Amino acid sequence: MRIAVLGDLHLISPDADVMRRRLREHFALTQASFRQLTERIRAEQPEMIIPLGDLVDWCCPANLHYGTAMLRKLEIPWHLVPGNHDLSRPDFIGEGVNDAQAKACEAWRILGVDLSNRFIDLEDTRLILLDSALGTIEEDALEWLDEATNTDRRVLLFTHVPLHHEQIAKTIHRIDPRKNLQKYMQQQPCFQTHIQGRIDAVFTGHLHFAAYTDIDGTACHMLPLSITAHEAHYPDQGHFSIIELSAEPALHTVNIATGCRTTHPLVPPTRRRPHAMAPGLSTSLKKTTRPR
Ligand SMILES: [Fe+2]
Ligand SMILES: [Fe+2]
């Protein structure tokens, strides 16, 4: 089983608002790199794609149609976790935050895109997709996470905003001391209570650069932009990851321009707990925490 994991894409439709396209030209002019990305993904032949949020640069009908159409062209099943930009409605500034987000979620749902918290079981591995788009995880979502991680399977967590942890803060600070940690790290600590000893690896986007740290046996993979921005520099941009679930699970990082790849263990060598083998593939969609 091979899963392509994509960092932020910030796709913008050619039909989206002209003024805003100009303001966001670094993401509006990424079509060529997006083509490179899709060619590399095809070459890797994954059976599933997980974009880590910020699939689009802002939430409007043109961008949502464009973003979903671009991914559907690949004809590979994909499962999105929402990013803050996927829910951002610049045209609804006057509304309450919850109302604007609920409308954004509804717009995705109408296009057939599920943003709820859910998990997918693949033989000996459970993939958990968790909404952290706004930098917080609600209490009922944490309760759900406890249930979802109560399994003998290997557990991989996919969520947009990096976890709140001192080690993550240090890692981010080392790469870019200017990053505002209030914005680029989840707001509440939940590592010790809900992650430690329960989750083997965590995949996040949002930072727009690549970073890695191992926190007490949990591998924290922070993915860069998977497209290359136009005339703007984001460290390590233009890479995506392939999770290879096999006897020796691995993580390959692929450069979309050159096709060069580097390979690392999926989980730290210190983390080798036994995993029960369960037959077949089953998908379980769980409760929603955000008002729809
Ligand atoms: Fe982003
Ligand atoms: Fe983001």
Whole-number pLDDT of residue 114? 95
**CA distance linking residue 171 with residue 158, whole number of Å:** 19
Q: Can you read off the two tokens belonging to residue 250?
A: 């691995």
Tokens 């005339």 belong to which residue? 231
The burial class, CB within 10 Å (0-12 / 13-18 / 19+), for 17 is: middle
Whole-number pLDDT of residue 11? 98
Can you tell me whether residue 137 is helix, strand or coil?
A: coil
Q: How far is the CA of 256 from the centre of ligand 1 (A)?
A: 18
Give the list of residues 6+ apart from residue 167 with CB closer than 8 angstroms, or none.
Answer: 213, 215, 220
**CA distance linking residue 122 with residue 13, whole number of Å:** 34
Q: How far is the CA of 164 from the centre of ligand 1 (A)?
A: 17
**CA distance linking residue 250 with residue 11, whole number of Å:** 28
Q: Which of 259, 254, 258, 256 is nearest to 31 (CA)?
A: 256
**Helices H / strands E in the chain, number of each:** 8, 12
**CA distance linking residue 129 with residue 119, whole number of Å:** 6
**CA distance linking residue 288 with residue 240, whole number of Å:** 28
Q: How far is the CA of 275 from the centre of ligand 2 (A)?
A: 33
Whole-number pLDDT of residue 144? 96
Q: Can you read off the two tokens belonging to residue 184?
A: 């680029």
Architecture of domain 2-285: 4-Layer Sandwich (3.60)
Q: What is the pLDDT along the chain (292 residues), one digit of tens a residue?
A: 999 999 999 999 999 999 999 999 999 999 999 999 999 999 999 999 999 999 999 999 999 999 999 999 999 999 999 999 999 987 766 666 677 788 899 999 999 999 999 999 998 999 999 999 999 999 999 999 999 999 999 999 999 999 999 999 999 999 999 999 989 999 999 999 999 999 999 999 999 999 999 999 999 999 999 999 999 999 999 999 999 998 889 999 999 999 999 999 998 776 655 454 444 444 444 544 443 3
Q: How far is the CA of 52 from the centre of ligand 1 (A)?
A: 9
**CA distance linking residue 200 with residue 196, whole number of Å:** 9
Contact predicate 227/34, CB 8 Å: yes
Ligand nearest to the CA of 162: 2
Task: Tell me the HSE value of 176 on the side-chain side, using a 13 A CA sphere.
Answer: 15
Q: What backbone torsions phi and psi does residue 201 show, to the nearest 5 degrees?
A: -150, 145
Can you tell me whether residue 21 is helix, strand or coil?
A: helix
Q: How far is the CA of 158 from the centre of ligand 2 (A)?
A: 13
Q: How far is the CA of 38 from the centre of ligand 1 (A)?
A: 19
Whole-number pLDDT of residue 279? 40
DSSP 170: H
Domain layout of the chain by residue ranges: 2-285
Task: Tell me the HSE value of 263 on the side-chain side, using a 13 A CA sphere.
Answer: 4
